[in-house]
């Protein structure tokens, strides 16, 4: 890291010297760790608009250029040339696997896909109509009770074992949540299938007949997994880091990430986006779009879901890849005229030419087209965020491992700007005598 300083001149004329740290690419950061000791002041940055919460070597985003790199490799190249499990290996280990490591890793993951049979009893405690993300949050958290031989976050071997378990078992848990909701028998994983193929099998296979994995669907799903695998310090990843920073076990930290991802401003946006597209279709389709755009302009609470991003102020590269996958899947189904896809394309075009969106640099994000693909694959809307969660699990783990191995690692503990009442005494209150007991 290159080093220079910034000097802050305070109101009383005193000076505070703070180091400036430079990474390999991207903006430099002002190291404010000694600010409080030197000035008695904190920084104030709700929503972390200008705060780097950690150093990381995993994922880099250039929001202005619309660039996303995993360990230096552009997402476009990875999505085109690698399988999701190779991308998992890359995120966890820093390098892409050679042929031997690739097949060893795939073999390892595929031999951990079953979940402890006892987990099924736990699952059966949920209501059938529970949201899959509620079920998933519970199941992932419960894994610490079922696999307690790998819950020491400070033990590298435990972290490795729990990483493999989580990557391997998340698709099984999502499929279990689905099958439980629809009342169908659970399907045990099949080790000879690919990661994506196995998930499709566990979702849509039944004991009554053979299930043949459609290769176009398999490729599309694998790409969805890859595009969601990591995204630097987003809300759920920061949640996993903060939760893990207390030394809690990896399954508990990942369960916290699942809970955070659920929200509609984050992973829940794919579900919200598809609901929005359905709503527009029902209200008149393409002809209703201008009314909808006006509603957004008139009411801040109405958002064009699948648009906008805290970091991307340009086209999200994942949205472009997802759009391409959308074409491929709909062509396979011979339904290029899918009304939702028509509405999405028209909506994107209108929004990209509209002053409101141009001025605010709002572009489609990954969730704008992912819902249409998932729906075409037969995945119910309520399960969309679960697919995001199973894909992002590897990113959460890689980031958690990186944090634990960082020499600067400390429990996360933000400070605050207190705006409540200063100290006051209860003696001044007229408390009725019998209120105490």
Catalytic residues: 309, 367
Strands 67-70 and 59-62: antiparallel
234 binds ligand CMC (CB under 6 A): yes
How far is residue 409's CA from residue 222's CA, in Å, rounded to a whole number?
A: 33
Cβ closest to ligand CMC, residue 159 vs residue 309: 309
Cβ closest to ligand CMC, residue 256 vs residue 269: 269
Please identify which residue in the block is written with the tokens 């990381």. Answer: 56
Cβ closest to ligand CMC, residue 323 vs residue 365: 365
303 binds ligand CMC (CB under 6 A): yes
Number of residues written out for the chain: 437
Q: Who contacts 431 (Cβ-Cβ below 8 Å, separation ≥6)?
A: none
Q: Who contacts 186 (Cβ-Cβ below 8 Å, separation ≥6)?
A: 120, 175, 176, 179, 180, 202
309 binds ligand CMC (CB under 6 A): yes
260 binds ligand CMC (CB under 6 A): no
Q: Who contacts 2 (Cβ-Cβ below 8 Å, separation ≥6)?
A: 21, 22, 28
Q: Which of 307, 341, 369, 384 binds ligand CMC (CB under 6 A)?
A: 307
Q: Which of 269, 326, 347, 372 binds ligand CMC (CB under 6 A)?
A: 269
340 binds ligand CMC (CB under 6 A): no
Q: Which residue is nearest to ligand CMC (CB)?
A: 308
Closest of 224, 369, 196 to residue 204, by C-alpha: 196
Quote the least distance from Cβ 323 to ligand CMC, whole Å. 15
Binding mask 140-179 for ligand CMC (x = CB under 6 A): ----------------------------------------
Q: Which of 158, 160, 310, 320 binds ligand CMC (CB under 6 A)?
A: 310
How far is residue 378's CA from residue 261's CA, in Å, rounded to a whole number?
A: 22
How far is residue 38's CA from residue 41's CA, in Å, rounded to a whole number?
A: 8
Q: Which of 114, 265, 295, 331 binds ligand CMC (CB under 6 A)?
A: 265
266 binds ligand CMC (CB under 6 A): yes
Quote the least distance from Cβ 308 to ligand CMC, whole Å. 2
Binding mask 60-99 for ligand CMC (x = CB under 6 A): ----------------------------------------
Binding mask 359-398 for ligand CMC (x = CB under 6 A): -x-x--xxx-------------------------------
Give the footprint of ligand CMC on this chain (CB under 6 A): 231, 234, 265-267, 269, 296, 300, 303-310, 360, 362, 365-367
């Amino acid at each position: 890291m290159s080093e220079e300083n910034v000097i802050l001149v305070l109101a009383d004329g005193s000076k505070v010297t703070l180091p400036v740290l430079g990474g390999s690419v991207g903006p430099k950061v002002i190291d404010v760790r000694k600010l409080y000791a030197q000035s008695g002041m904190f920084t104030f940055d709700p929503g972390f608009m200008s705060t780097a919460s950690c150093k990381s070597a995993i994922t880099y985003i250039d929001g202005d250029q619309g660039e996303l790199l995993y360990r230096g490799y552009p997402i476009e190249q990875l999505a085109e040339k690698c399988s999701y499990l190779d991308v998992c290996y890359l995120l966890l280990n820093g390098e892409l696997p050679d042929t031997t490591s690739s097949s060893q890793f795939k073999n390892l993951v595929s031999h951990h896909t079953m979940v402890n049979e006892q987990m099924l009893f736990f699952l059966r405690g949920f209501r059938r109509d529970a949201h899959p993300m509620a079920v998933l949050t519970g199941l992932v958290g419960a894994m610490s009770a079922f696999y307690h031989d790998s819950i020491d976050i400070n033990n590298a071997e435990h972290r490795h074992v729990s990483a493999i378990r989580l990557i391997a078992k998340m698709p099984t848990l999502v499929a279990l949540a689905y099958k439980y909701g629809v009342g169908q028998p659970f399907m045990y994983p099949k080790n000879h299938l690919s990661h994506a193929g196995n998930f499709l099998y566990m979702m849509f296979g039944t004991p009554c007949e053979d299930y043949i994995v459609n290769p176009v669907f398999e490729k599309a799903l694998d790409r969805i997994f890859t595009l969601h695998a990591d995204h630097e310090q987003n809300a759920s990843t920061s949640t996993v880091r903060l939760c893990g920073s207390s030394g809690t076990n990896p399954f508990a930290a990942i369960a916290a990430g699942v809970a955070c991802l659920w929200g509609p401003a984050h992973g829940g946006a794919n579900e919200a986006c598809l609901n929005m597209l359905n709503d527009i279709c029902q209200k008149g389709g393409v002809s209703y779009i201008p009314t909808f755009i006006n509603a957004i302009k008139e009411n801040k609470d109405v958002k064009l879901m699948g648009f906008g991003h805290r970091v991307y102020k340009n086209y999200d590269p994942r949205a472009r890849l997802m759009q391409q996958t959308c074409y491929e899947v709909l062509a396979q189904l011979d339904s290029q005229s899918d009304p939702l896809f028509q509405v999405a394309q028209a909506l994107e075009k209108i929004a990209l030419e509209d002053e409101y969106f141009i001025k605010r640099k709002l572009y489609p994000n990954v969730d704008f087209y992912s819902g249409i693909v998932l729906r075409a694959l037969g995945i119910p809307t309520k399960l969309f965020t679960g697919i995001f969660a199973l894909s992002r699990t590897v990113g959460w783990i890689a980031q958690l491992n990186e944090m634990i191995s960082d020499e600067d690692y400390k429990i996360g503990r933000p400070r605050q700007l207190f705006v409540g009442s200063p100290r006051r005494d209860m003696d001044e209150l007229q408390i009725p005598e019998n209120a105490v007991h």
